[in-house]
Amino acid sequence: MDQAPGSPQGPKGPGDQEPQDTPSLPTCYRHPDRESGIRCTRCERPICPDCMVSASVGFQCPECIRGGSGTGHPPTATQPRTLAGGTIAADPRLTTKILIGINLAAFLVQLSLGDRFTDSFDLFGQAWLSGRLQGVAEGQWYRLLTAMFLHGSYIHIMFNMLSLWWIGGPLEAALGRARYLSLYFVSGLAGSALTYLIAAPNQPSLGASGAIFGLFGATAVLMRRRRYDMRPVIALLVINLIFTFGWSNIAWQAHIGGLVGGVVVGYAMVHAPRERRALIQYGVCALVLVAVVVATLVRTVQLT
């Protein structure tokens, strides 16, 4: 029961105890007498306001800014790194802007040249087109990649590009350009491969959704790694999955394939140990690409 306002507080008796379950914050590794809930985005050690150095993503400690990583060894880098080990760029969203520009440029070409251009680069397994048998099964493997930059309508590209900006920009800043670009393409190809593997051979598919769902998956992994509130990204992902399975003419296979690929690659990006970070990160990307090739070969054998 709460104590009434203004009531006197008597001396504590033998049975009165102070609450023991009040959580305490960690202390700054440079100033042990100061509590702090902020951690360096590079080495993840707690730092107090006097030790915080503003970076493009969060705050870093003075030792990481100097490139020494707090290990006592000589500096191994001339500039601070992201959580995943990537270089922090002056414009952390540049790659996302370029990807959006490529998608918009491809859509303008689609509008200018019409269905003939789209039919030459969208994804389908095997179908008669322009008087001959075409598709990935007929050796047109490039369709697995080119379909990632085509869209079927104004609404289609608008939703995808808004999602790419909202999700991709912060993720690029957290991973670094090279790792972000690897995640994007590996996720997109995973979505294309699953579509080719289980969709009807003559069902066309196009759009950046597979890659974007990969970014969703990696963002969820990153937020869990940093112990952020997961509810916003989970709610957004659930809404997208409802649209995926609730509307017709949506290649759900690309969404699921991209999501799985993004979670796998994203986990490797943010959880790889620092000593073998690049090897594990790009090794997992290579393994997912091997799975893409195997799935493509299996489906090609089935269709031919």
Residues annotated as catalytic (active site), given as ranges: 209, 255
Task: Look up residue 230 and give its two tokens.
Answer: 């997961």
How many whole angstroms separate alpha carbon 231 and alpha carbon 183?
23
Q: What is the DSSP letter of 202?
A: T
Tell me which H or E stretch contains 53: strand 53-54
Ramachandran sector of residue 69 (left: φ over 0; alpha: ψ -120 to 50; beta: rest):
left
How many whole angstroms separate alpha carbon 265 and alpha carbon 276?
15
**How many distinct helices (H) and strands (E) make up the chain?**
11, 4
What phi and psi, each to the nearest 5 degrees, are found at residue 133?
-80, 125
Q: Which residues pair with 132 in a beta bridge?
A: 129
How long, in residues, is the chain?
Answer: 304
How many whole angstroms separate alpha carbon 287 and alpha carbon 266?
13
What phi and psi, each to the nearest 5 degrees, are found at residue 127?
-165, 155
Q: How do 53-54 and 59-60 pair as beta strands?
A: antiparallel
How many whole angstroms separate alpha carbon 203 and alpha carbon 224?
36
Q: 165: burial class by Cβ within 10 Å (0-12, 13-18, 19+)?
A: middle
